[in-house]
Chain A
């Protein structure tokens, strides 16, 4: 199982799960379209921030969150 932190740039992956005990962040990510079965693409990696693309929008997430998003290899 790979986390988003280990993903390659510009390659669409499918989200497997979100590994966190904070329910509210999981719900938030869901509303944005980041949930098991949906696509997510890593656009850039800048220092410890990851720029991702979810459903036509760009977001900056920090390293902890990137490690928590598990993707299918």
Chain B
């Protein structure tokens, strides 16, 4: 039996979905969190014996007409997949508006059960709702629920009502009204009878005062910057680093345990593969797990409290200048966790150019995987200075703006769309929910490390152990390995960027499979087992051990970091981009754009950095300049063409009118 969850955005559908199915789908306190339908079976504790109840979580919809993509998904699902019962989640704090969708759902001739959710919040405000009157007027069962509570939350009663509704069906329903206006007339009357409110929502509240500061014309940006800096510091410099030390110590011990277990007699190739390739490579990546977990925890709290919508308001003014709207900031912020859900959330953006632009710029905010690369280089070369990471995030935001401008010029598409966004009430973020979601992410990270990254590291290790004749490569001649010989031609391209060594080229390439592989591959190719020192509560001091092993200057390291952060993301994220672009031309353009930007930026960082620190330019300046000039020239030509396209378009319109 299929049950659909339908309701306004941010009314608690996904929370209820998680509670009923035991899943851990993403929940956030802003409209547009869920962009995909999600299916799962209801937990056995709720369902009767033997019955398989499938619950489908849909994106929020204010109505069944189709202004936004999420509403079309909801509408299409209901019309095509014909669920057996619809649970219409109605936000008790927003009764009037919620009922608009309800009346539309009731006309579909599918049994509906209304879950009056957030009833606790409504009561706290002093609002009283006459549930019986509501139920009689709508002619459907109405069950009060509090989906955020783990017990006494109305869910068992809800499922019982659902099963009953399915059994007894619903009487053939005459449409309530003839048009939408009558719809609201009906609703207004119903609400007048059934709802008693203590305070008018039209009055200023404390939250409005907070909004006035948080979304303030001038204060908003510094506040936002402070929040980002705080999140980053906590995850990389303070708590995250502290936890990482314990973690890495444990990994080191396992390494030694296995090493002693193997003893002296084992074939050195096999031993090296197991110890350095597998345990070492994966261990190097897993060492960063605490940092990433703390980051995700902070993000979860941020997403839960309701601040995100305010950020969209603050950024709208600036995004409008580059042809986007405030809505584009949300995918970018989600992207700091993982670019894939960020890219997918661009579905909430209606304008197609804005959606595609945002989708291809979202990866420019360093994701959790890229955080391990940042942490690595920040620790090894810059003594863990928090400014390294922060500057990478700011560079990311700057690139989002610049990129949006360039893309708008190239497409010649200056279309605007209105920005309207619901501002949900602030709520104290639930630490429990954040912890649950973090453990979910941690588990995913560990699985990723144990699968893709493990296999990559093993392959990399094998390729660097053997040469083309399948003989073990001598210690003194690592360049003869298969891996080196493949990577060296590519490394030539990187000479003007400061890291023209095959190890770095190989690491960058494996980075496309998963960005964590950059760390893993570097660990394997340079035979480093951990980037942390157990004695000190910090990554090894710049230059002391790891820095010299890696053999590049700090400037070159920065350039390499920039390169990996701002080239195309991992294949999985590229796949997500592909789904949202819906056009081969745009996808190719996006990847070309990202490659061009990554290369150019790394070139600039390395050459100007070297010039600044040593007084002369770095290697390969001439060749690099040629390449970069070609890249920039291509952009300029495309932009010129786009401007001309736009001029033609506007003059045609002028003639028409």
Contact = CB atoms under 8 A, between A and B. Distances in A.
A28 B184 contact: no
21 contacts: A10-B203, A28-B67, A28-B420, A30-B63, A31-B67, A38-B184, A43-B202, A44-B211, A46-B211, A46-B313, A47-B217, A48-B316, A49-B317, A56-B93, A56-B201, A57-B94, A57-B201, A59-B420, A59-B421, A62-B325, A68-B418
A60 B420 contact: yes
Interface string B404-429: 00000000000010111111100000
A39 B313 CA distance: 23
Given A44-B212, A46-B212, A62-B418, A53 B62 contact: no
Most chain-B CB neighbours within 10 Å: which of A39, A64, A68?
Answer: A64
B228 interface: no
B63 A60 contact: no
A12 B202 CA distance: 7
Contact of A58 (B62, B317, B422): B422
A3 interface: no
A48 B202 contact: no
B63 A31 contact: yes
B423 A32 contact: no
Interface in A8-38: 10, 12, 22, 24-25, 27-33, 35, 38
A59 B423 contact: yes
A46 B94 contact: no
A65 B419 contact: yes
Mostly, the A contact residues are mixed
B65 interface: yes
Interface of B: 62-63, 65-68, 93-97, 100-101, 180-181, 184, 201-204, 208, 211-212, 215-217, 220, 309, 312-313, 316-317, 320, 325-326, 416, 418-424
A65 to B, nearest CB: 4
A33 B96 contact: yes
Given A51-B208, A59-B423, A60-B313, A46 B215 contact: yes
A44 B202 CA distance: 11
B419 A58 contact: no
Contacts of A38: 184
Nearest to B96: A55
A2 interface: no
B201 A62 contact: no
A16 to B, nearest CB: 15
Contacts of A73: none
Contacts of A65: 418-420
Given A57-B97, A65-B420, 7 more contacts: A28-B62, A31-B62, A33-B184, A46-B313, A55-B94, A56-B93, A56-B97
Contact of B313 (A25, A32, A49, A64): A49
Contacts of B320: 48, 62
A28 to B, nearest CB: 4
Contacts of B184: 33, 35, 38
B97 A32 contact: yes
A72 interface: no
Contacts of A41: 202
Contact of B97 (A10, A12, A22, A55): A55
A11 B212 CA distance: 17
B202 A39 contact: yes
B422 A59 contact: yes
B204 A43 contact: yes
A49 B216 CA distance: 10
Instruction: Enumerate the 8 nearest inter-chain pairs by beta-carbon distance, A residue then B residue, closest first.
Output: A31-B63, A47-B217, A28-B67, A62-B419, A58-B423, A31-B62, A41-B202, A56-B201
A24 to B, nearest CB: 5
Nearest to A61: B420
A63 B313 CA distance: 12
Given A24-B67, A56-B97, A10 B313 contact: no
Contacts of A47: 216-217, 317
A61 B418 contact: yes
A10 B202 contact: yes
Contacts of A32: 62, 97
Contact of A60 (B100, B216, B309): B309
Contacts of B416: 64
A5 to B, nearest CB: 13
Contacts of A33: 96-97, 100, 184
A41 B68 CA distance: 24
Nearest to A62: B419
Most chain-A CB neighbours within 10 Å: which of B68, B204, B418, B422?
Answer: B418
B202 to A, nearest CB: 4
